[in-house]
Amino acid sequence: MLSTVTGIYDVLNSMAVLARAVPDLPQTPPFTAEVVTETETRVKVVSGLSLSGRPASEVQRTNIIIAPSLMPASLSWEKGRHEELVRWIRRMHEQGSVLVSACTGLLLLGETGLFDGRQATLHPQLLEICRQTYPEIDLRPEHVLVTDGAREQFVSSGGATTWHDLVLYLITRYTSAAAAVEMARFFALKAHDEGQALYSVFVPPFDHGDAMVRDAQHWLARHLACETPVEAVVAHSGMAPRTFKRRFRAATGFSPMGYVQRLRVEEAKRCLERTRDPVEEIGARVGYVDPAFFRRLFKRVTMVSPAVYRQQMKLPDPYRHRQ
C-alpha cells in the first residue's frame, strides 16, 4: 500500500530540511531513503497509482531495508514471484542490513527464510495468510512493533498505519528519543500504545467440513445471549457433551465456551462502535448480566476496557453523517 511507502519516505527524508527549524533534530541528515524496485523503474500499487523507483540491482549496500505493506490481490501469497528481489535482500542482510517489514511486507521478507524462528507481527486480519505460508515465523499479532535478533536486526510493524510506530522507532534508534518526539509532533504521528488486539476481528471458521459443527455455529450465532449456551447447543446437536466438545474444538480451534465468548465480544464491539448505550446494557445484551465479568472478559480479549475501546474506535461527532 502506497501510504507505508510515501509516509515513511517523507518523514525520514524531511528530517534534513526540518532540522533548520525544529529543535532536537540532528544537523547532519541521519537518513537517505529511496524507493527500490525489483527490476522496473516504475511500479503500480494496489490503488492504481504508479511509483518510481531504482532497480535493486543498482544498490550495492544499504543499512536498512523496509518492505512496505503489500496487498495480495487474492488474499494469498504466492512464493517465487520475486526471486531476484529475495536474493538481493539476503545479500544485503549478509552485509549487515537491518530487515524491516511494515504490515504485510513480512510476506516478502518471510520468503528469504531469515525470519524463520523469529518473532514478528503484521495486521491481525492477515495473520492466517502468513501462518499458512510461513509456519516457522513466531507471529505476535497483538503487538504493534516487534524486534528480534541480538542486534535487533529484524523489525516488524503491524497494521498499515502502524508505520507511525515503525518510523518513530527508527528515528529513536538511529538518532534520539527527543528527535522522535519532535517528528511525532510535527507530523502528528501516533504511537499505538494500546496494541493491535482491539483492531482484530473474529471471523468464525466455517470451512472445516464438519456439517454438525457448522450447524452448531449457526445456532450459537442466533442464540448469542442464551443463559447456558454450551449446554443448549449440545442439546441442539443431540450428541454426547464430550463428543460434541471434542469435535467442535477439532473443527474450529476453540472450545465451545471460548467460541461463544469471542462471538459475544465481537457483537459487544459493534455495539460500542455504533451506539451510545451504557456498557452494562451492552454486556447484558450479549449474555453477561454481571458487568464486572463482562469488563474482565472484554479486556482479556481486546487488551482494553470497553470504555477505552469505545473511545478509540468510535468516530467523533464532526465525522459523523448528520441527517
CATH number at residue 292: 1.10.10.60
Average predicted confidence (pLDDT) for the chain? 90
**Model-level pTM?**
0.76
State the average pLDDT over residues 5-23: 91
Task: Determine contact, residues 22/31, Cβ cutoff 8 Å.
Answer: no
- On whether both 116 and 188 belong to a single domain, the answer is yes
SS3 64: strand
Alpha-carbon distance of 62 to 292, in angstroms, equals 53
Does residue 234 fall inside a structural domain? yes
- On whether both 130 and 40 belong to a single domain, the answer is yes
State the average pLDDT over residues 219-248: 96
- Condensed to tens digits (0 to 9), the pLDDT of residues 177-190 reads 999 999 999 999 98
- On whether both 59 and 109 belong to a single domain, the answer is yes
Does residue 206 fall inside a structural domain? no
Parent domain of 300: 211-317
**What's the Cα-to-Cα distance from 320 to each of 7, 22, 310, 323, rounded to whole Å?**
26, 35, 15, 10
State the average pLDDT over residues 259-279: 95
- On whether both 122 and 85 belong to a single domain, the answer is yes
pLDDT > 90: percent of the chain: 70
Looking at the predicted structure, is the pLDDT value of residue 320 above 80? Answer: no
Does residue 322 fall inside a structural domain? no
Task: Determine contact, residues 299/305, Cβ cutoff 8 Å.
Answer: yes
Does residue 63 fall inside a structural domain? yes
**pLDDT score recorded for residue 322:** 46
- On whether both 18 and 91 belong to a single domain, the answer is yes
**pLDDT score recorded for residue 71:** 66
Does residue 323 fall inside a structural domain? no
User: Cell 445484551 sits at which residue?
Assistant: 285
Query: What confidence category does residue 318 fall into, taking pLDDT thresholds of 50, 70 and 90?
Result: low
Q: State which of 199, 229, 257 marks the end of a domain.
A: 199
Looking at the predicted structure, is the pLDDT value of residue 157 above 60? Answer: yes
Query: What confidence category does residue 161 fall into, taking pLDDT thresholds of 50, 70 and 90?
Result: confident
